[in-house]
């Protein structure tokens, strides 16, 4: 029998992408989908699709009918909704930021809202599949990672785990416009974004820094110092992070490459590029992969890592489905190739 | 002394384009500029420009200080405003649709609003420069043409005037997104418009048909039958109209081409393309030109006209400035090359 | 056991798209893939993909190992290659134009090259799945339709079959740049195509007219008169055809819509849009669907049909795979949802 | 009398942009224009323009008729051509890299070709207008700066001159596709560049590093260490450089901002943005401006500078014309506003 799946918040870009993935997944069935703003309509009235999935209010969703519920809500809005899903006995995969940061103090500092579900927060597993696979397998609640941190954490994890990553990290990241959501904003207006390139919230201002510090911080020598500069680029989908790092200068180029090759040897969704190649959006858009390339600078111990993903797939709904596959013991790549 | 110019509605795409043109024009000076939504701010707070032009409420604009006032307002909103400008003694160039159609009944049918300024409507000159140049020169009130009709009317005028144009006209038009304005709408969201192409209001539904019927209707044999299909394309600026027409089959290809060559021989802003070439957006964007190409079909009397323009220049603010040059006896190309 | 598949010409856009589809298809296995220009390399050296499929010369391809061979070659080049594939005993799906037109005289007129395989030409089935499904099922050689004609023929077929389509047809078509292939040409240079829109070969000049005449011609009253105007638009993928037709004026709007609804009731890849909606690229890109919408004009018997598809999927490789599914008795949607 | 201007290499993107600027400049007249590949044609055969400027071979150009010659040639090719222009008595503005680096050893290291005109090289003035204005005024030969270095050098010059800039500089730069020229290359193919983002030659590999080291190197403490990562973005024009620097930590934020405000107080083409704003492409495309914004990081002495320009204007032909204005004592902004 197929997994019975509920989707809360099905009409934003991540929700709609997830619905498309679930339809293609051979072992899932959508039992209900919600939208507060469009309840009573069908998905085909909101997107150019023949998909006639009806949309209901979250309050009307029969939570207990679902084996697993995906929540595609804004942060804060998801906090309570996850609790209801768990209370109804369904496993939860939350695409918001609400359960990503285990320390409620850190959460509140970045998201400017107290965390009201601290017990549940303690149970949540951070769903970065390649790093936390074992914990995800047994989890009842998975917090799906942010789009930018997925490129940075996957791009640096092998070095961090090996104790070879220096604390000063500069991330110059570029994201397609779907990352800003479907909400109407001047910055997402075609004429404003097209033929343009706009940095925003650069330096030490963007909330996604918290997830980078959480994953990498414990492994670097001394205090981690991240500068993070996101840019909006005129494409629909995709993130490229160009990451400037310091690596233990005792390691040869070959050793650095070996650390990555070993860490990601069996990973179906990591595309480690050969020397001389660089990650581009083209390597990953419309796939669930993360592409990673390593470029040494002339001065010993200085490297540039380029890492790309599709922000709606490996950066959101694709990784959420990968988490579901892991949680329910399915082949991890099912519905994702 | 420079012409003293007022701009009503300076912060939409046509208003902002006009302000940029006026700054480059050697014989004009902006004495005031209005914006209802952004009064109190400066232009540099709304657009990425060093231009610090202050914005005031329309009600606070010293109308009488201006020799000429450009109105870049939505239709209906412009109706009354033009009357105030004229009452204050300034000449007016209205970029809205309110004074384009001399018959108030026709206006009301298309714009679903009664015309409250019928006397003034009687004075207005339709500012299609290449066709009405003489009347424009003496006008106190010029109604600047719509973007789509400018390509169609300029593209067909020589044949119409020669009495050689058949009544059945199919216009398949494509416009950049700036044509839909700066207002936030889902159809203008980058992710929705990019990598997409959307027809809208096709057939006999778009208001701009009225201007085509007004200019061409009196010259065709029998009753004019226009089918007009606009499409939104993922570019910032530019309109291309592909126009399917019937031409008096007694005319040879050479004669048809001759009619155009003669009609537009001295026109600085008409770029008549040689046989074998077709008009593209590239011919006209960022210029005040209209490019026109003629392609015969194998069957006698059937032709395709391709005509392009920059919708913000020849299709709006550029032509408005051209009208100003004509009205005030300046060299017609001043500030427009 | 999986179908053993060979691909000739795997490195153009249609070949590469096909390889991606074949990898996702659960019942196929690529046994070899050829590229004249890149033999000796792997696919991952030509595209940003982890796919390491090795490329061999066509002359080195073990044709007989394949149950079915897809040919993604330019026209003329495919003519002989298909013969070799058939001689080796494999079934063939040809994506070129070489076997689409059963009359070698018509072929030579449009493609300016004599047809050297007229016997084989007699066996070929035109692979427009929704129309020729039964013949495709038994075919040894399927000629996959052209991209533009697929939108036009699917968009008009129900009316044509019902004897209700008039002979005068105007097709204003718009295609993404992948339709022009991966070959380097100035028109496909980013700076030339971006922020531009270019008609080309308009009127009665484009070779794809032959496929429209072939399918629709026998069904209209009198001699068919097609005007066909393709335009290059700045998107990667997708075709939208805006089609101006005359329909038997005795038919009510309801009857016209009923003819389409009945014709396509059970078609998994036809998305018939409800009244008031129009086909856009967004309806079909990255899917194997064709979206069709019907818009009546005020004058009886005049309609506009909008029809869209992804030129690389339903317009090429997707339909080729759909043909394979039909030929081998697989579920028609396998690998295509 | 107007300045008599010759253009060598008028048909690449910078050459064509220059021709357009010269036509709009009220005090210049193009006396001849060359193109090796298109001699005998007119400009209107190569670009969608009514400009009928005839193109001749460089060898046929009457060099001595020109007061000033612009050279828009690839590096190495320009070396000899400049010498011929100077020998004929015309002043020269060279847009290639051949005369930018005064030390022939440095030139050869980066451009892998010996410099054959070392005497002339000694005379050349580096035409970064805001920095070398006085030397440019008297120069017979001006080497127009590279596109990327212009953003970096203008973005950091005030701090460098003040002795407050640290030696470690990371430049993450993004450029539109026109920067790669009109030559056909797979990376400039629409389908490859659109919806993509590609880093290239990152780290310490791109030749433009030499111009940054030349301008900034003498002013930093210790040895300058530049990491420079260019990226190709899917826009036609524009460069944005996001620059990570170390500044003397003794300086307050206010002092740093004051240094820039003072340095650029009277510069018509520098748009210094207020605190809280960031430079975007929108600030500068289709203008000759460079926009600069300063963002402090939390840790003292760490700043991010964002700097943008239009690569074809301030990054090439616009600055070349600005240099001409300075060289001939014209108002510096003539033809550039």
Q: Do D23 and B289 touch (CB under 8 A)?
A: no
pLDDT value at position D7?
A: 98
Q: Do C197 and B298 touch (CB under 8 A)?
A: no
Instruction: Kindly indicate the confidence band of residue B221, based on its pLDDT and cuts at 50, 70 and 90.
Output: confident
**Alpha-carbon gap: A24 to the closest alpha carbon of chain C (Å):** 7
- Give the helix/strand (H/E) hosting A23: helix A13-24
With CB atoms and an 8 Å threshold, state whether D190 touches C188: yes
Whether the CB of B191 is below 8 Å from some CB of chain D: the reply is no
What's the pLDDT at C291?
98
Separation CA A75–CA A71 (nearest Å): 10
* Nearest neighbour of B271 by CB, restricted to D50, D282, D289: D50
∠ CA A185-A191-A192, rounded to 5°? 55
Residue of D186, D192, D236 with shortest CB distance to C194: D236
A297 in contact with chain C, both atoms CB, cutoff 8 A = no
- Comparing CB atoms, the residue among D47, D195, D283 nearest residue B48 is D283
Give the nearest chain B residue to A234 (CA atoms). Answer: B190
Q: So what's the architecture of C148-309 in CATH?
A: 2-Layer Sandwich (3.30)
D window 26-65, beta carbon within 8 A of A: none
Residue D125 pLDDT grade (very low, low, confident, very high; cuts 50, 70, 90): very high
List chain D residues with CB under 8 Å of A192: 282
Q: How many C-beta atoms surround the C-beta of residue D302 within 10 A?
A: 21
**Residue A309 to residue C172: CA distance in whole angstroms:** 37
Q: Which of C120, C124, C149 is nearest to C228 (CA)?
A: C149
Taking the C-alpha atoms of residue A37 and residue A53, their distance in angstroms, rounded to an integer, is 15
CA distance to A135, C75, C78, C120, C215, per residue, from C114 (Å): 67, 12, 13, 14, 22
The structural architecture, per CATH, of the domain A3-144+316-327 is 3-Layer(aba) Sandwich (3.40)
B-chain residues within 8 Å CB-CB of D337? 23-24
Which one of C283, C286, C291 has the shortest CB-CB distance to A286?
C286
Average pLDDT over residues A249-265: 98
D330's tokens:
């014209």
CA atoms within 13 A on the CB side of C278: 24
**For residue D285, is pLDDT > 90?**
yes
Residue of A278, A269, A275, A274 whose CA lies nearest to A313:
A269
Q: What are A44-92's pLDDT values in tens digits?
A: 999 999 999 999 999 999 999 999 999 999 999 999 999 999 999 999 9
Q: Which residues in D lie closer than 8 A to residue C17 (C-beta atoms)?
A: none
- What are the residues whose beta carbons fall under 8 Å from the beta carbon of A77, sequence distance 6 or more? A96
Task: Give pLDDT, residue A234.
Answer: 98
Contact between A236 and B191 using a beta-carbon 8 Å cutoff:
yes
A283 to chain C, any CB pair closer than 8 A? The answer is yes
C201 touches B: beta carbon within 8 Å: no
Bridge pairing between strands B168-175 and B225-232? parallel
Q: With contacts defined as CB-CB under 8 Å, which chain A residues touch D199? A: 240, 242, 278-280, 306
Whether residue D1 is predicted with pLDDT greater than 90 in this model: the reply is: no
**Distance from CA of residue D193 to its chain's centroid?**
23
The Cα-based distances of C148 to A269, C131, C210, C305, C312 in angstroms read 36, 16, 11, 14, 11
| Mean pLDDT score, D126-131 | 98
**Gap between the Cα atoms of D140 and C287, Å rounded:** 61
Please compute the mean of the pLDDT values over residues A302-325 and round it to a whole number.
Answer: 98
Regions of chain C where pLDDT drops below 70: none
Beta-strand relationship, C68-71 and C28-34 = unpaired
Q: Which residues of C touch B308 (CB under 8 A)?
A: 197
Q: Is the pTM here over 0.90, yes or no?
A: yes
From A50, A195, A337, residue closest to C271, measured CB to CB: A50
Give me the sign of the Cα torsion angle D217, D218, D221, D223.
positive
pLDDT bin (cut points 50, 70, 90) of residue B1 is confident
B297: nearest CA partner in chain C? C203
- Start-end ranges of CATH 3.30.360.10 in chain D? 148-309
Q: Which part of chain B has CATH 3.40.50.720?
A: 3-144+316-327
Average pLDDT, stretch D88-108?
A: 98
- Return the pLDDT at D221: 87
Nearest-CA distance C248 → chain D (Å): 42
Q: Cβ contact (<8 Å) for C182 and D193?
A: no
Q: Alpha-carbon distance B210 to B162, whole Å?
A: 21
Q: Cβ(C46)–Cβ(C15) under 8 Å?
A: no
How much of chain D exceeds pLDDT 90, in percent?
99
Using a CB-CB cut-off of 8 Å, the residues of chain C touching D186 are: 182, 184
Question: SS in 3 state form for A95-159?
Answer: CCCCCCCCCHHHHHHHHCCCCCCHHHHHHCEECCHHHHHHHHHCCCEEECCCHHHHHHHHHHHHH
CA-based nearest residue in chain A for residue C268: A50
Calculate how close chain D gets to C227, using CA atoms only, in Å: 25
Residues of C in contact with A314 (CB under 8 A): none
d(CA D92, nearest CA chain B) in Å: 27
In this predicted structure, the answer to whether residue A20 has a pLDDT above a threshold of 90 is yes
Q: Are C8 and C306 in contact (CB under 8 A)?
A: no
Q: Is A275 an interface residue toward C (CB < 8 Å)? A: no
Give D35's contacts (C-beta < 8 A, 6+ positions apart). Answer: D9, D10, D11, D15, D41, D46, D55, D56
Sign of the four-CA dihedral D304, D310, D314, D320: positive
Chain A residues with CB under 8 Å of C289 CB are 50
CA–CA distance, B260 with B155 (Å, rounded to integer): 9
Q: What is the ipTM of this complex?
A: 0.97
Taking an 8 Å cut-off on Cβ atoms, the answer to whether B23 and D337 are in contact is: yes
Helices (H) and strands (E) counted in chain C, each on its own, are 10, 13
Residues A282, D200: C-beta atoms closer than 8 Å: no
Tell me, what's the pLDDT at A224?
Answer: 98
Range B188-195 average pLDDT: 98
* Contact (Cβ atoms closer than 8 angstroms) between residue C216 and residue C156: yes
Known catalytic residue: B147? Answer: yes
Smallest Cα distance from D323 to chain A, Å? 27
Measured between beta carbons, the chain C residues lying within 8 angstroms of B234 are 233-235
Q: Does C295 touch chain A (CB under 8 A)?
A: no
Nearest by CB to A170, which of D170, D225, D299? D170
Rounded to the nearest angstrom, the minimum Cα separation between D175 and chain C is 12
Average pLDDT over residues D18-29: 98
pLDDT at A221: 87
Do residues C227 and C171 lie in contact, with contact meaning Cβ atoms separated by under 8 Å?
yes
Cα gap B317→B53, rounded to integer Å: 18
> Which of C35, C134, C129, C69 has its CA nearest to residue C318?
C129
Q: Do D286 and B283 touch (CB under 8 A)?
A: no
Q: Could A280 and D195 be called an inter-chain contact, meaning their C-beta atoms sit closer than 8 Å?
A: no
Mean pLDDT of chain A: 98
pLDDT digits (tens, 9 = 90+) for B244-263: 999 999 999 999 999 999 99
pLDDT per residue as tens digits for the range B126-159: 999 999 999 999 999 999 999 999 999 999 999 9
**C313 contact partners, CB below 8 Å, separation of at least 6:** C17, C284, C286, C287, C288, C319
Closest CA to D267 of D329, D326, D208, D210: D326
CB contact under 8 A, D48 and B280: yes
Q: What are the residues facing D91 on neighbouring strands?
A: D68
Residue of C13, C182, C189 lying closest to D182 (CB–CB): C189
pLDDT confidence tier of residue D175, bands split at 50, 70 and 90? very high
Q: How confident is the model at residue D183 (pLDDT cuts 50, 70, 90)?
A: very high
Subunits that touch chain D (at least 3 Cβ pairs < 8 angstroms)?
A, B, C
**B279 touching chain C per CB within 8 A:** yes
If we measure between CA atoms, which residue out of A282, A199, A308, A195 comes closest to residue D193? A282
Choose among A306, A264, A254, A265: nearest CA to A284: A306
């Amino acid at each position: 029998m197929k997994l019975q799946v509920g989707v809360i918040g099905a009409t934003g870009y991540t929700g709609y992408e997830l619905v498309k993935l679930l339809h293609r997944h051979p072992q899932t069935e959508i039992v209900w989908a919600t939208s507060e703003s469009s309840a009573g309509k069908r998905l085909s009235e909101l997107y150019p699709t023949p998909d006639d999935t009806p949309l209901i209010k979250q309050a009307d969703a029969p939570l207990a009918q679902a084996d697993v519920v995906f929540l595609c809500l804004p942060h804060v809005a998801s906090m309570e909704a996850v609790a209801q899903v768990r209370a109804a006995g369904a496993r939860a995969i939350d695409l918001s930021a609400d359960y990503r940061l285990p320390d409620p103090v850190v959460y509140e500092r970045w998201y400017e809202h107290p965390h009201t579900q601290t017990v549940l927060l303690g149970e949540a597993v951070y769903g970065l599949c390649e790093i936390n696979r074992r914990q995800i397998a047994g989890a009842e609640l998975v917090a799906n990672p942010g789009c930018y941190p997925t490129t940075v954490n996957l791009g640096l994890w092998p070095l961090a785990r090996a104790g070879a990553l220096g604390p000063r990290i500069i991330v110059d990241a570029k994201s397609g416009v779907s990352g800003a959501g479907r909400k109407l904003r001047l910055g997402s207006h075609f004429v404003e974004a097209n033929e343009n390139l706009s940095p925003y919230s650069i330096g030490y201002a963007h909330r996604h820094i918290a997830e980078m510090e959480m994953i990498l911080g414990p492994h670097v020598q001394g205090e981690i110092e991240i500068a993070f500069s996101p840019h909006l680029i005129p494409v629909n989908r995709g993130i490229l992070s160009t990451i400037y790092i310091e690596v233990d200068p005792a390691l040869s180029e070959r050793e650095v490459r070996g650390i990555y090759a070993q860490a990601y040897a069996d990973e179906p969704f990591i595309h480690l590029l050969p020397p001389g190649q660089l990650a581009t959006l083209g390597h990953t858009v419309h796939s669930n992969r993360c592409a990673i390339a390593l470029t040494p600078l002339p001065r010993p111990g200085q490297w540039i890592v380029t890492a790309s993903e599709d922000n709606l797939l490996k950066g959101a709904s694709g990784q959420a489905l990968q988490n579901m596959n892991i949680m329910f013991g399915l082949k991890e790549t099912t519905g994702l190739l």
